[in-house]
A and B are shown apart, each in its own frame.
Chain A
Amino acid sequence: MTNTTTAKRPCRAASGDEGMPAPFLYQHEDGRYGLSFGPARFAKGVPAWHRVPLDIVEPAPAESNNAVSSLLAAAHIVFGDNPWNVLLAIDAASQTLLWLETLFFVIRELNERGNEKIQVRHLADIGSYIAERAASNAEQSHDEIKASIEAAEAREES
């Protein structure tokens, strides 16, 4: 592999201090990256993976964008999706909880006024529908991300 970046200083995390295992970065011949905490074990006769030096953490200014895109590519591999899309799933769940907070507040206010039973019932229906849909979406996102992380782990171990 040809590395065009310039070594400046060792990566702090790579030194293995603070009780964290040192990370090892590997690259496949097809361009994929793999991150391992501790030396990775590869199956015999599979030389496609090779270690990439991780102690180069400060690329030349002109190459900064490449370094960022590599990190994002690694995150994309682990999460199975663009990290911004992963964030969207969390944002949607947060938004739904804010909606439910509003609904519960309004239900409480209407209940204090009395004679608003029908409206309270409709608002409860709305809350039920919104919560059900959000739970379904969150569960789907969770399952997809979990499967992707497990696949990344399995790839590390193989």
Chain B
Amino acid sequence: MSTPTLEKSAASAESEAPAHLITVTFRVRRFNPEISDQATWQDFQLEIDPKERVLDGLHKIKWDHDGTLTFRRSCAHGICGSDAMRINGKNRLACKTLIKDINPSKPITVEPIKGLTVLKDLVVDMEPFFQAYRDVMPFLITKGNEPTRERLQSAEDRERFDDTTKCILCAACTSSCPVFWNDGQYFGPAAIVNAHRFIFDSRDEAGEQRLEILNDKDGVWRCRTTFNCTDACPRGIEVTKAIQEVKRALITRRF
């Protein structure tokens, strides 16, 4: 019942790939401890719309080519922070990276994020990352009785820490930090960002404790202001700036 034009386009789609599709090579870092102790590169050729995301490419591989490819993703819309990976050498969310933006004429390399133990393919052990997150007590701490209504805050007070509330804990920043690569003891940018979110919250009363934790030898003082974290953050948080603000708070508290 369709018009002749539609019939024609449907017919051409069966015979050859539609014109908007391009051929892209995905070069994926594969690791399976049940087969080998070595990680290897594997190439996949895909016919894909350049306006699709890297995650769509990975789905295509997993669903149509090789079901053993393992990676994390949940919401696939840049909110859950599950699919941070190293794409063309840069930490990004696979679900927020369009193929046309990362030069599809060359092979697109996809690796697990660095500095964390690779469990399989693109899945890493996030435990050290979340350990550092827990260590900074990322929850509201107050004294006295609970108020009968919500804790009010002025718009200016809210604005103070607005940037660091955007964190989705994807670990793109922490796993882009060279200090974290070399020494997993460093708290890492993500933990400091989430400490910053409560240190500068006017309603919170444990800022002192958090500053004391970050004053430690593996705390903010190990930051070399490399700015890798700010570049890597898929939410556009000014991570290095937040770390510097914690440093300044520590110094002004002291002097």
Chain A complexes with chain B: no
- B contact residues vs A (CB 8 Å cutoff): none
- A contact residues vs B (CB 8 Å cutoff): none
